């Protein structure tokens, strides 16, 4: 029961309170780049969720079973990025085989998941928060992916409506997206006191 409680709290906290996009500024590039249409945003979110769960788990295992306490610890970042690149390659092959139309519309953004800071960032945060339980690491990684999906879908929904709005000329494009993101962040700050 206690474990379940911790897992549930961890999940809610990483989705709503410590959402990687809103509080840690991770994954901003796709957040601004792919959030033009809601179906693409959702596809991107799913791809990131898969990669982040896989690589969060794998890097935890590598970190705890091989690297920790040995001089190899300096190679941590190199190992992490290799795992992530491998996972992304896997997703890319899968999407190309089974969802060719989605693959076309992603274009360059799919391989760029490798350089999505949300993924490496989460692996580093798991290391930093000293999560020493595999299950918790898995739940946190999955929650981070869900949180990212939620953020990017909300953003895409807003931007679809923003297309119809009369935005001042100089703020069109990226600036207004950033300001919208700022206001969204403000809204999510309301969750800050929810746990602990």
Partner 1 sequence: MANKTSSAPLLGETFIVGLWRENPVFRLLLGMCPTLAVTAAVKPAFTMGLCVIFVLLCSNIIVSLMRNLLKPHLRILMFTLTISTFVTIADLFLRAFQPTMSEVLGPYVPLIIVNCIIICRAEACASKNRLFVSIIDALGMGAGFTVTLCVLAAVREILSTGAIWEIRILPAGFVPWAAMRMPVGAFITLGLLLGLVNVATKRNA
Contacts with partner 1 by CB under 8 A lie at: 22-29, 32, 74-78, 81-82, 85, 111-112, 114-117, 119-121, 124-125, 128, 168, 170-171, 174-179, 181-183, 185-186, 189
Query: Between residues 8 and 69, which has the closer beta carbon with respect to partner 1?
Result: 69
DSSP 167: -
Residue the block writes with tokens 């949300």: 118
Q: Are 47 and 110 in contact (CB under 8 A)?
A: yes
Provide the minimum distance between the beta carbon of 27 and partner 1 in the complex, in angstroms, as a whole number: 7
Provide the minimum distance between the beta carbon of 19 and partner 1 in the complex, in angstroms, as a whole number: 10
With H, G, I as helix, E, B as strand and everything else as coil, classify residue 91: helix
Query: Between residues 8 and 63, which has the closer beta carbon with respect to partner 1?
Result: 63
With H, G, I as helix, E, B as strand and everything else as coil, classify residue 105: helix
Query: Between residues 8 and 179, which has the closer beta carbon with respect to partner 1?
Result: 179
Provide the minimum distance between the beta carbon of 6 and partner 1 in the complex, in angstroms, as a whole number: 22
Helices (H), 36-173: 38-62, 76-98, 100-106, 117-128, 134-162
């Amino acid at each position: 029961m206690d474990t379940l409680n911790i897992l549930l709290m961890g999940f809610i906290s990483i989705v709503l309170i410590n959402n990687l996009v809103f509080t840690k500024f991770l994954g901003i590039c796709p957040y601004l780049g792919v959030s033009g249409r809601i179906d693409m945003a959702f596809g991107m979110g799913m791809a990131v969720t898969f990669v982040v769960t896989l690589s969060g788990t794998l890097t935890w295992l590598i970190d705890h079973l091989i690297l920790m306490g040995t001089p190899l610890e300096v190679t941590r970042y190199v190992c992490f990025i290799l795992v992530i690149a491998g996972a992304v390659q896997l997703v890319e092959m899968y999407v190309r085989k089974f969802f060719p139309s989605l693959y076309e519309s992603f274009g360059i953004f799919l391989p760029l998941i490798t350089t999505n800071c949300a993924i490496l960032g989460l692996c580093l945060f798991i290391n930093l928060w000293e999560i020493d339980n595999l299950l918790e690491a898995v739940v946190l990684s999955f929650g981070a992916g869900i949180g990212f999906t939620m953020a990017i879908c909300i953003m895409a929904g807003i931007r679809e409506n923003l297309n119809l709005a009369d935005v001042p000329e100089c703020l069109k494009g990226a600036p207004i997206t950033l300001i919208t993101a700022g206001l969204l962040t403000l809204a999510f700050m309301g969750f800050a006191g929810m746990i602990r």
